[in-house]
Structure 1
Amino acid sequence: MAGQTHSTTEGTHEAIEVPASEHGASFPPFDSTTFASQLLWLAITFGVFYWIMKNVAVPRIAGILEDRKDRIAGDLSEANRLKDETDAAIAAYEQALAEARNKAHGIAHDTRAKLKAEHEARREKAEKELGEKLKAAEAQIAGIKTEALSQIGDIAGETTSALVEQLMGKAPTKTDLTKALKTAMD
């Protein structure tokens, strides 16, 4: 049957048959006659791949990891430096703010003290002027009172004289009038 040609109704097909001795009875990797060469090639391939991994791939990966580690460490140190600068800036800001508040309180206190002193000075001046005016008014009132009291005797004498004249028909004498007024005032 080797090398035979088959014809079919659909067309001509040529089939090639492989003799049984050429394709063996088992799968080639499981063929016990090739185990030694397979193990040799496995050892060579493993050794080459191990050498490539050890001398090429692992150093590159280690270099990349070291670069990343250095970059991360640098970024962390930069972040810490910037944090320290920020903390210092915040502390300086808070100190400046506290100084400004203290200065503002000092200015307000000084202004209050100055205004209070000015107000006190004006009040004292006004009180002094009022005291002087009050003394002048009291002196004027005392003068008017003294004058009125000095004239009260004359007014009382004239009034009494006019009343007595109206009631009696004749005016009293000056001595009688003076005596009567003295007795009434005591």
Structure 2
Amino acid sequence: MTKGAGGSRKLSVDDWIEAGYALLANGGIEALKLDRLCGHLEVTKGSFYWHFTDMSAFRTALARAWAELRDRDRRGFGELSGLPPRDRLAAMMATLRGERQRALERAMREWARTDPAVADSVRAADQRVLAAVRTAFTDAGFDPDEAEMRASATFAAGIGFLHLSEAPAGPQLAHQQERFLDVMLGR
């Protein structure tokens, strides 16, 4: 965000997207209202309409930006390929532990229940995550069928951990996730 002539703030599309993330993470899809966005950023509706034709266009941009953010996060999984499989899986699970990430992930999954385009985005990102988790189990020595089953169970448990934890992720959740990995990597 920058100051323009006369001290007025000039917002970028990214500023609006960040505000949308904040509202979505704190209040779900119902919180994505033009008045709330403008209030959050302390600007007029004219600023919004400078960047977006309407709320539908904003929501489309928000979903697309989230998919790109998630893709960037998940591309980092490839950089983990040099780690032992257990460390790789622990690092992948840790991506959900951050408060903002956790809240936004939950909100996007809820939104996906009512919006087919968001659902497609979530599903595509999930498939990339499942592939990385499956590879970790294969690298741990499991045959393809067993790796697939364990990857699916690990992914489902990760989503469960995400939805069951209301408070910020703390040592107890981290410990539970570590214990879960011990079970999943056991034979």
Under TM normalisation by the shorter chain, which class is it? Answer: under 0.3
Q: Give the number of the structure whose alpha-carbon radius of gyration is greater.
A: 1
Task: Tell me the TM-score normalised to structure 1 length.
Answer: 0.22
Q: Which has the higher contact order (CA 8 A, sep 6+)?
A: 2
TM-score between both structures, scaled by the size of structure 2: 0.22
